């Protein structure tokens, strides 16, 4: 199973542990599949060029609508915490 943003094979899903990056991707229209791995919840995205572009965009400190982004962050955190119970 490939993990992390360093995975370059497009046939494997992209696993992210960072909720902030995952919230940004969700804010931009990519909905993650949440998977439980031991005691952690992992955010699984399709490993496509669009996903990689959005991750690069996130790391370049984009201007976003803050309240909309925080809404996605809170929703994703709530989903994550409900899976950990």
pLDDT digits (tens, 9 = 90+) for 33-57: 999 998 899 999 999 999 999 999 9
How far is residue 50 from each of residues 19, 39, 46, 64, 85, measured CA to CA in Å? 18, 29, 9, 18, 33
Specify which residues 40 forms β-bridges with: 37
Q: What is the mean pLDDT of residues 56-66?
A: 96
Domain boundaries, the chain: 14-84
Output the pTM of the full model: 0.84
């Amino acid at each position: 199973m490939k993990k992390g943003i360093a995975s370059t094979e497009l046939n494997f899903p992209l696993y992210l542990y960072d909720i902030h990056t995952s919230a940004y991707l969700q804010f931009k229209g990519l909905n993650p599949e949440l998977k439980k791995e031991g005691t952690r919840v992992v955010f699984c995205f399709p490993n496509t060029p669009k996903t990689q572009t959005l991750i690069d965009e996130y790391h370049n400190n984009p201007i976003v609508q803050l309240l909309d982004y925080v809404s996605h962050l809170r929703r994703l955190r709530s989903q994550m915490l409900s899976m950990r119970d």
